Amino acid sequence: MSHYKVLLPNYSVGSGCYEDIPEITKYYGKRAVVIGGKTAMSKAKAALLDAINGSDVKITDFIWFGGDSSYENGDKLKEMQAVQKADMIFAVGGGRACDTGKYVADQLSKPVFTFPTLGSNCAACTAISVIYNSDHSFKEYYYPEPAVHTFIDMDIVADSPADYLWAGIGDALSKEPEAVFSSKDDDLFHTPLLGVQLSHSCTKPLLRYGKKALEDCRAKKASFELEQVTLDIIISTGIVSNLVSGEDYYYNSSLAHAFYNGSTVVENSKGKHLHGEIVSFGVLIQLVYAGKPDQFDEIAAFNHSFGLPVCLSDLDITAEDIPQIVERAKDTEEWRHKPADVTTEKFMDAIFNADKRGKTFAEL
């Protein structure tokens, strides 16, 4: 029999949780280099330095990751002395900073620790880096080792721009419908079975606590609700992701993300909408395709009340853009792993039908 490994996220969460750094990192070395976003590093720097003060851990440099998660930026970082000499990489910031940190660490065979400063996606603890081209369009997925440990300081998350949390909620809404849909035809063995089951814990907390969490993020309050939603976005979806992506199976994303990846080629929409915002409309497409009208209505009502898109025009996408979106979507990981009954025509129909049914919510 062959063998395989599963790496699950370890994490610390709450106000002041960076205090765990010396204890958690002690088996991995002493010299750490921070690779992160500019704003993220400015917000986390004092807490990081405070946390390691008096310990054996030394942060040798704080380096900007380059602004996008691209091979070009990652390869530049790989060449830097401070990065090469470090025992460990601390990736600080949002998804792109964490993805870049994971890529660099993987390339240099160093352990990576992540410090998400916003609740926007599960990049902090997944074994995937989303790689973009230098023109910001989606390039491909790279599969690094995941972070050894993720530190989520809720005071720092509460101080982040609320829009990212808002979009992060939209993105996390995709986990359950995509994992369920993409695995529907297969007889699941232990690991993906666990992952798909856990995906059922992703949607409800978002619908239940999402609004209060967003209000609290706007008020910079590290509340219980904000912590629940942040854990959902970063940890729950991350655990599912690591369980449902294996060497010969992939149930981590499906049509919602195929739509997102396809939409990155639409000039008129490019750069105007956040990843999770676009994905949350992709979720509606996914639910149309899966024939789940009740869930569609539940999510569409939530999206509408939450300012997330319910139709194409909310994303500055027109009917004329759909053929090129579908064309690009077909050249994605999601499409390569799609269930057998997914066809181009039905995907296109599902986009139009989601738009049509979604518009009835827009008019409410």
Least distance to Zn ion, CB of residue 257, Å: 6
Count residues binding Zn ion (CB under 5 A). 2
Stretch binding Zn ion (CB under 5 A), from 136-144, 208-216, 279-287, 323-331: 279-287
The β-bridge relationship of strands 11-13 and 58-64 is: unpaired
Binders of Zn ion in range 332-361 (CB under 5 A): none
d(CA 152, CA 249): 30
Q: Does 227 bind Zn ion (CB under 5 A)?
A: no
Contacts 24+ apart (CB under 8 A), 18-21: 18/44, 18/47, 18/48, 18/50, 18/51, 18/115, 18/151, 18/153, 19/51, 20/149, 20/151, 21/48, 21/51, 21/52, 21/55, 21/57, 21/113, 21/151
How long is the chain?
364
Q: Quick one: CA dihedral 239, 244, 250, 251, positive or negative? A: negative
The β-bridge relationship of strands 129-132 and 138-142 is: antiparallel
Which residue's CB is nearer to Zn ion, number 171 or number 225? 171
**H/E element, 307:** none
Binding mask 113-152 for Zn ion (x = CB under 5 A): ----------------------------------------
Q: Quick one: CA dihedral 206, 209, 214, 216, positive or negative? A: negative
Q: Any idea which residue has 């409309």 for tokens?
A: 281
Q: Any idea which residue has 């606590």 for tokens?
A: 209
Stretch binding Zn ion (CB under 5 A), from 159-167, 208-216, 278-286, 346-354: 278-286
Stretch binding Zn ion (CB under 5 A), from 46-54, 169-177, 286-294, 302-310: 169-177
Binding mask 280-319 for Zn ion (x = CB under 5 A): ----------------------------------------
Q: Which two tokens stand for residue 74?
A: 């990652």
Least distance to Zn ion, CB of residue 179, Å: 12
CA 165-167-172 angle, 5° bins: 90
Q: For 218, what's the count of Cα atoms within 13 Å in the CB-facing half-sphere?
A: 8
Asked if 290 contacts 316 with a C-beta cutoff of 8 angstroms, the reply is: no
Q: Does 171 bind Zn ion (CB under 5 A)?
A: yes
Which residue's CB is nearer to Zn ion, number 117 or number 237? 237
Stretch binding Zn ion (CB under 5 A), from 50-58, 207-215, 225-233, 271-279: 271-279
Least distance to Zn ion, CB of residue 171, Å: 4
Which residue's CB is nearer to Zn ion, number 228 or number 254? 254
Stretch binding Zn ion (CB under 5 A), from 72-80, 166-174, 186-194, 343-351: 166-174
Q: Does 277 bind Zn ion (CB under 5 A)?
A: no
Least distance to Zn ion, CB of residue 143, Å: 16
Which residue's CB is nearer to Zn ion, number 229 or number 279? 279
Least distance to Zn ion, CB of residue 69, Å: 13
Q: Which residues bind Zn ion (CB under 5 A)?
A: 171, 279
